[in-house]
Amino acid sequence: MQATTKSDFKTRSKMLWKEMKESKHLYVLMAPYLILFLTFTIIPVFMSLGISFTQFNMLEAPRFVGFDNYIKLLLDDEVFIIAIRNTLILAVVTGPVSYLLAFVFAWLINELRPKLRAFMTLVFYAPSISGNAFLIWLLIFSGDVHGYANAFLMQFGFINNPILWLRDPDYMLFVIILVQLWLSLGVSFLAFIAGLQGVDKTLYEAGSIDGIRNRWQELWYITIPSMKPQLLFGAVMQITTSLAIAEVSMQLVGFPSVQYEGHTIVTHLIDYGSIRFDLGYASAIATVLFVIMISANLIVQKFLRRMGE
């Protein structure tokens, strides 16, 4: 019995080896990318996990400390709790809203004539590729009377004194959400536009004969099921982005922000990783973030795949 499984294993590994040899040119083609991908993506994930159990500052050798970093992080770091809260608020708002906006605008644009469609695509997509043009929002939400938002609200008598949009904890998250949404029609937006253009036109005619009467029924019964792969891809993009908000917060409300009201998990990570050089602790933060991102993605994928089945 054991002999057969052993020889079975032998022939199988021989076959595998033969297959691998036959595709050696393919491996050669893939090698440069795979080496870089392993070095800068796969290995770092495991390294991060490993380092998170140590105390490490790059100057001295890492010292194993068990779960100390995690215990401190989850039980003893008030700023991290604020960061988690802010990250979740930002993600729960900007994630679904930006996803819906990307889809709705792609859908509306799809009805336009090609030239106008191209123009509107540019209008909605441009913010996400405009580098740090989002800094214009500093001028819009400037806390003095010259800020466009303040000037506008005062002109029409909604407020009497300028609002410190970027310093007042009550408004900081609001501003970050607004700017993040402005930036959010990116890759998934393009995927939705392409997906909508790819829906088989005869399906709409057939649907119309089958009794579909308005655009909403058409959307629900024909369009959405036809572009499910793009919808799944877009979800991954929006979830990952919405959980990694940092740059906008750091640039607009400061780093660290007043009372940490604009602090997120990623800014906390940057604080410990790049400023305090407490790499063990930073890695623990990164690992927690990794788990949150992957599980959020997998849960939403599961949910979306089931939709409409």
Return the residues of window 201-240 that contact other proteins according to CB under 8 A: 204-205, 208, 212-215, 217-218, 227-230, 232-233, 236-237, 239-240
- Could you give the string, one character per residue 266-295, with x where binding to other proteins holds by CB under 8 A and - elsewhere? x--xx--xx----x--xx--x--xx--xx-
Nearest by Cα to 199 from 237, 238, 233, 228: 228
Least Cβ distance, residue 211 to other proteins (angstroms): 11
Of 2 and 227, nearer to other proteins (C-beta) is 227
Q: Which is nearer to other proteins, 169 or 278 (CB)?
A: 278
How many of the other CB atoms lie within 10 Å of CB of 98? 26
- Local structure of 55: helix, strand or coil: strand
Binding window for other proteins (CB under 8 A); candidates: 25-33, 65-73, 84-92, 165-173: 25-33
- For other proteins, the binding residue among 5, 11, 155, 160 (CB under 8 A) is 155
Exactly one of 65, 120, 153, 258 binds other proteins (CB under 8 A); that residue is 120
Tell me how far apart the alpha carbons of residues 113 and 152 are, in angstroms, rounded to a whole number: 35
Return d(Cα 205, Cα 211) in angstroms, integer: 10
* Start-end of H helices in 110-227: 114-125, 136-140, 148-155, 169-183, 187-197, 201-209, 215-218, 224-226
CB closer to other proteins out of 63 and 215? 215
- Site residues for other proteins, window 82-111 (CB under 8 A)? 101, 105, 108-109, 111
Q: Which amino acid is at 47?
A: M
**Tokens encoding 252:** 């607009």
